[in-house]
């Protein structure tokens, strides 16, 4: 297989977005800040807020976590009753490019326009080439900039027609917020890859990546933006219309497995309950003698609760997480050293024990191998690795940082060899068919491409598909 396009890899990212309107004309910057803080797990490299009010537009963007980018004084200067915010994670090279920090914005004949995007486009190369032929000059290397220009070149007579045209042209994943003067637009791609929810209180209308961000804003009742929907909040009125229709929804199941907060409701599923059930179903396959169940913190915790309950074995926290080093899935290099900085073994809990170690997923395997080593060094008698999802065998093109095929452990190592490679006493995972079973009939509405290597041709650009010619992934749940 040919290596993937480096430009494509450069722009791949996943993010958190939030938009807010004060119904009483108050500044929204503090609400946006708090909501972005809640969405910090979706991206930690940079953050930004754009607001609009009587004094026009105000913006502040910077590298780092939300708490580092904004101070009280900065938030005071971001006046305006309407605004959008973004927190970003990207991979490969371009994360230090200041022009890539979102929200992106331009002044245009439509007025001031800003955009915040979560997802990744799969026909970016084609669209960018077309726009450059039309004389548009790109200031960033992110695919999100495309939306600003597609809106401007659209021949639609109103935003509804313009967004319809955009949805016809763009392939891939996008949950999107547009601020055009004092109007807030929000849309979700027709496949519904990334989540987007909205709700309102007496004081505010808020739209965000996850329900946890709405809760932070004091909003407990929410609605999902449906795939293909465009919403407009203007004045005190909300209008929603559907402009994108597809044959099959492709909601990202990995949002439920790992990416979203456990206190969020994603695609109508309670994330904590879902992860717990994955653990329970995994425990039903246990054949070894186990003394204790131990999570890899933090993402393995809900599944380990379900595992421990179903197996009737005690749950022990033999690994504590240091909260000051970031998530190892997100950090791009030196994963093994970071594991030791991040995870603190507690000998008291694990010495002499036969451990079922529960993790959310198997990606590169380097983290798992290092954790097994750490537990053995601290006196574990046996370490049985249990993954609460199927092994990832193929890359994601839709906005989650999953490495290329070559880097994915399950794509190159057979299940029977995983024990040796990971130095575990045994390895078990949740078969794909069980994962689908948990979702029931709704599984038809989800994307499982990174677990199956099969992609919906409707969602990917020709350039990407052609790179996968001749690629035949194993169907691991049949092994
Ligand atoms: S390929 Fe995997 S990570 Fe990517 S959208 Fe599909 S399920 Fe989510």
CA of 452 from ligand 1 middle (Å) equals 10
Residue 82 to residues 20, 85, 204, Cα–Cα distance (Å): 6, 11, 10
6-246 matches 265-478 in fold = no
CA of 401 from ligand 1 middle (Å) equals 10
Over residues 316-340, the pLDDT tens digits come to 999 998 876 554 454 545 666 777 8
**Which pLDDT does position 401 carry in this prediction?**
73
Comparing 271-285, 307-321, 400-414, 457-471, the range with the smallest average pLDDT is 457-471
Q: Which of 253, 269, 408, 455 to mutate to test the pocket of ligand 1 (most atoms within 8 A of CB)?
A: 253
Q: Looking at residues 283-291, what average pLDDT do you find?
A: 96
Portion of the chain with pLDDT greater than 90, in percent: 65
**Which pLDDT does position 70 carry in this prediction?**
97
Q: Which of 398, 405, 411, 459 to mutate to test the pocket of ligand 1 (most atoms within 8 A of CB)?
A: 398
Q: Which CATH superfamily is domain 6-246 in?
A: Aminohydrolase, N-terminal nucleophile (Ntn) domain (3.60.20.10)
Flag whether pLDDT at 3 surpasses 50. no
Taking alpha carbons only, the member of 182, 211, 213, 168 closest to residue 40 is: 213
Beta-strand runs (E) in 103-161:
104-108, 111-118
**Which pLDDT does position 202 carry in this prediction?**
95
Supply the DSSP symbol for 244.
Answer: -
CA of 474 from ligand 1 middle (Å) equals 17
Flag whether pLDDT at 466 surpasses 80. no
**Which pLDDT does position 193 carry in this prediction?**
96
d(CA 68, CA 367): 28
Strand 343-345 and strand 46-53: the pairing is unpaired
Residue nearest to atom 5 of ligand 1 (CA): 252
Flag whether pLDDT at 477 surpasses 50. no
Residue nearest to atom 8 of ligand 1 (CA): 252
Q: Looking at residues 239-259, what average pLDDT do you find?
A: 92
**Which pLDDT does position 11 carry in this prediction?**
33
Fold (topology level) of 265-478: Rossmann fold (3.40.50)
Question: Which pLDDT band holds residue 446 (cuts at 50, 70, 90)?
Answer: very high
CA of 457 from ligand 1 middle (Å) equals 14
Taking alpha carbons only, the member of 115, 88, 83, 112 closest to residue 101 is: 88
* In contact, 453 and 374? CB cutoff 8 Å: no
Q: Looking at residues 146-165, what average pLDDT do you find?
A: 92
**Which pLDDT does position 99 carry in this prediction?**
84
Q: Is 356 exposed, middle or buried (0-12, 13-18, 19+ CB in 10 A)?
A: buried
Question: Which pLDDT band holds residue 474 (cuts at 50, 70, 90)?
Answer: very low
Q: Which residues have any ligand 1 atom within 6 Å of their CB?
A: 193, 252-254, 396, 398, 400, 402, 447-450
Q: Which atom of ligand 1 is nearest to the CA of 451?
A: 2
**Which pLDDT does position 214 carry in this prediction?**
97
Q: Looking at residues 212-232, what average pLDDT do you find?
A: 96
Verify whether residue 15 is a known catalytic residue.
Answer: yes
Flag whether pLDDT at 171 surpasses 80. yes
Q: Looking at residues 352-379, what average pLDDT do you find?
A: 93
Flag whether pLDDT at 412 surpasses 90. no
d(CA 134, CA 377): 61
d(CA 129, CA 468): 22
Over residues 368-398, the pLDDT tens digits come to 999 999 999 999 999 999 999 998 888 888 8
Q: Which atom of ligand 1 is nearest to the CA of 449?
A: 1
Per the confidence metrics, is the pTM higher than 0.95?
no
Of 183-197, 408-422, 461-475, where does the model show the most confidence? Answer: 183-197
* In contact, 50 and 247? CB cutoff 8 Å: no
- Whether the CA torsion 200, 206, 208, 211 is positive or negative: it is negative
Q: How far apart are the first and last CA of the chain?
A: 23
Domains of the chain: which residue ranges? 6-246, 265-478
Q: Looking at residues 105-122, what average pLDDT do you find?
A: 91
Max Cα distance, the chain (Å): 71
Flag whether pLDDT at 139 surpasses 80. yes
Among residues 15, 252, 396, 447, the one annotated as catalytic is: 15
CA of 163 from ligand 1 middle (Å) equals 24
**Which pLDDT does position 93 carry in this prediction?**
38
């Amino acid at each position: 297989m040919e290596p993937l396009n480096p430009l494509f890899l450069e722009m791949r990212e996943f993010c958190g977005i939030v938009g807010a309107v004060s119904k009483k004309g108050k500044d929204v910057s503090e609400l946006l800040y708090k909501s972005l803080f809640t969405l910090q797990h979706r991206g930690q490299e940079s953050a930004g807020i754009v607001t609009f009010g009587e004094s026009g537009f105000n913006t502040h963007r910077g590298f780092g976590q939300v708490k580092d980018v904004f101070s009280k004084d900065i938030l005071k200067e971001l006046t305006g009753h309407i605004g959008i915010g973004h927190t970003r994670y990207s991979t490969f090279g371009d994360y230090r490019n200041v022009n890539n920090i979102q929200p992106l914005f331009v002044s245009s004949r439509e007025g001031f326009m800003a955009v915040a995007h979560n997802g990744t486009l799969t026909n970016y190369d084609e669209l960018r080439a077309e726009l450059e032929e039309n004389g548009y000059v790109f200031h960033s290397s992110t695919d999100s900039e495309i939306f600003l220009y597609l809106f401007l070149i659209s021949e639609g007579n109103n935003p509804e027609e313009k967004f319809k045209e955009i949805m016809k042209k763009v392939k891939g994943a996008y949950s999107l917020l547009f601020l055009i003067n004092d109007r807030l637009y929000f849309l979700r791609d027709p496949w519904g890859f990334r989540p987007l929810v909205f709700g309102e209180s007496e004081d505010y209308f808020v739209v965000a990546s996850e329900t946890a961000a709405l809760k932070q804003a004091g909003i407990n009742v929410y609605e999902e933006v449906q795939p293909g929907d465009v919403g407009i909040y203007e004045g005190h009125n909300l209008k929603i219309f559907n402009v994108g229709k597809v044959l099959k929804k492709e909601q990202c199941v990995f949002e439920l497995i790992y990416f979203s907060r456990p206190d969020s409701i994603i695609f109508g599923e309670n994330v904590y309950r879902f992860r717990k059930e994955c653990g329970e179903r995994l425990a039903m396959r246990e054949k070894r003698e186990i003394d204790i169940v131990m999570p890899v913190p933090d993402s393995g915790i809900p599944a380990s609760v379900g595992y421990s309950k179903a197996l009737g074995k005690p749950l022990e926290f033999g690994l504590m997480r240091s909260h000051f080093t970031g998530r190892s899935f997100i950090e791009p290099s030196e994963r093994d050293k970071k594991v030791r900085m991040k995870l603190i073994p507690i000998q008291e809990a694990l010495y002499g024990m036969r451990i079922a170690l529960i993790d959310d997923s198997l990606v590169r395997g380097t983290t798992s191998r290092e954790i097994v080593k750490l537990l053995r060094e601290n006196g574990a008698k046996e370490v049985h690795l249990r993954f609460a999802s199927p092994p990832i065998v193929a890359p994601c093109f839709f906005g989650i940082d999953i490495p290329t095929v070559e880097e994915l452990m399950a794509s190159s190592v057979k299940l029977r060899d995983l024990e040796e490679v990971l130095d575990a006493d045994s390895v078990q995972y949740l078969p794909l068919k069980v994962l689908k079973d948990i979702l029931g009939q709704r599984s038809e509405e989800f994307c499982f491409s990174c677990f199956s290597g099969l992609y919906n041709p409707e969602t990917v650009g020709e350039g990407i598909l052609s790179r996968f010619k001749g690629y035949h992934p194993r169907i691991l749940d049949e092994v």
